[in-house]
Amino acid sequence: ARKIRSIKVFAEIQPFNIDIAKIKEINPNGIVLSDRSQQVLRENEFLLNKEIFELGIPILGIGYGMQFIAESFKAKVIIDEKSDPGVTEIEVLDKDDLFFEIANNFSAKINPNFALKEIPNDFEIIAKNSDSSIAAIRSKEQMIYGIQFYIEDEPTGNGAKLLENFARRICKCKEDWDEKTVIASQIKEIKDRVGNSKVICALSGGVDSTTLAVLLHKAIGEGLHCIHIDTGLMRKNESSTIIELFKESFHIPVEIIDASEMFLERLKGITNPETKRKIIGNTFIELFEEAAKKIEGAEFLAQGTLYPDIIESVSADGRSVKVKSHHNVGGLPEKMNFKLVEPFKELFKDEVRAIGRELKIPERFTGRHPFPGPGLAVRLMGGITKERLDILREADDIFTQELRNFDLYNQIWQAFVVLLSEKTVGVSNGERTYQNVVAIRAVTSCDGMSADFFELPYPFLRKISNRIINEVQGINRVVYDISTKPPSTIEWE
């Protein structure tokens, strides 16, 4: 969806079991059946409604989507769970609209655990793998396509081009969706939903809440009441930075609530990450509800919830796996006295950044790395204390400083330090030490749904290790996290 939106064509994610009547109501130009881990032959209850092939609109099946197409048209899918994902050479056999301006041969990742051994009736092969197995098929009679290689994270650009070809050349979609249209539609929607009521906006200082506050102020003006809660879990100098931005750049008043002692007391002894998130979410709402009593007409709570937050927090159909609760989604209490305003809940992070830039928010804010709603609580393994938070805060600040000094910050999607619960033996000034370990993490990503580790140069690693160990009391070891998402998540908790 994000890649299609990047070419100014609107796309949205729907669950696999969406009702046919709902699809007709949406009236899409085309449908992409995205990849998923379940195999057609093993879990038949995961099959989509085959009536989609009677809608008369273009359909592109990717991975599992191609399996579903093949099974629906009575072809044979073979499952071999012993193989590992790998890279293959794709040979294009038919340069039709789907492969327009794409090289005849290119490399792509495949999942060899399942393969199409025969093509359905009235279909033809339009691309094959290096072992001559089927890589892509096309219906001879309908605009139905299937590909058996991954395109979402394909680094050559062929995957993005293929999606562009499907959207523009096959589905005939118009380029009528961008940040300007989103801003206009959201302002109207906010006004219609809120009316004359007041909206409380939770400001964390991150890209999402900052952009949200500016958008809300543009929509309802003095109907907006911004509150920043200092949880004690913030980055270094976070609160003062927020006050500076909103006072000097936008003249939007911000109420500051120092609740750091309350949060630390409630999190004392808590080590389970889901429990941390729930406690933080409950405490946030409690504080906002208390503040709302002093604001006449405050009925709404605005949050910068994003599309990936919804996807990772909710198992709407009961079959997908909940990765983790986001404190502004699954971390909120079920009963609260606010109605929610979430203008970004169907947007990706880069789209929110684009909206922020369109709203003239300074780049030093729109370009900031994502920061989790629960703050440093989910970057601190084990129990939470002020002392441990201060150690993590200082190490994280040094890491960010050096990323900027080495001109690496803007090349990275997200970078941060994690304070581990373990301690290790070290030597300092000839004396034995037994101190904390921190892990540094830097990743590249398009939307946060998947990520690769950023290859930090050795001179940087040496510099950051020396600075953190020598300048932050209580740390004697720095390790470098080089895992990808999946199987890991970006954050450790």
User: What pLDDT sits at residue 112?
Assistant: 66
Count of residues making up the chain: 493
User: What pLDDT sits at residue 32?
Assistant: 96
List Cβ neighbours of 157 (8 Å cut-off, separation of 6 or more): none
Partners of 451 in the beta sheet?
485
User: What pLDDT sits at residue 184?
Assistant: 96
In whole angstroms, give the CA distance from residue 304 to residue 125.
45
What domains can be seen in the chain, in order of their start residue?
Answer: 2-170 (3.40.50.880), 179-366 (3.40.50.620), 379-481 (3.30.300.10)
| Own/partner long-range contacts of 267-276 (Cβ < 8 Å, ≥24 apart) | 267/377, 267/384, 268/383, 268/384, 268/385, 269/383, 270/383, 270/384, 271/381, 271/382, 271/383, 271/421, 273/324, 273/378, 273/493, 274/324, 274/325, 276/374, 276/377, 276/378, 276/384, 276/493
Q: Which helix (H) or strand (E) holds 112?
A: none
User: What pLDDT sits at residue 432?
Assistant: 95
Written as tens digits, the pLDDT of the chain (493 aa) is 888 998 999 999 888 888 999 999 999 999 999 875 444 445 544 467 889 999 999 999 998 889 889 888 988 777 665 555 678 899 999 988 999 999 999 988 876 666 777 888 899 999 998 888 899 999 999 999 999 888 865 566 788 899 999 999 999 999 989 999 999 999 999 999 999 999 999 888 888 999 999 999 999 999 999 999 999 999 999 888 888 888 888 889 999 999 999 999 999 999 999 999 999 999 998 998 898 889 998 899 998 888 877 776 544 444 444 444 444 444 455 666 789 999 999 998 889 999 999 999 998 889 999 898 899 999 999 999 999 999 999 999 999 999 999 999 999 999 999 999 999 999 988 899 999 999 999 999 987 888 999 999 999 999 999 999 999 999 999 999 999 998 999 999 9
- Is the preceding peptide bond at 487 cis, omega within 30 degrees of 0? yes
Nearest residue to 117 via CA among 65, 69, 64, 79: 79
In whole angstroms, give the CA distance from residue 229 to residue 291.
11
In whole angstroms, give the CA distance from residue 380 to residue 370.
17
User: What pLDDT sits at residue 307?
Assistant: 84
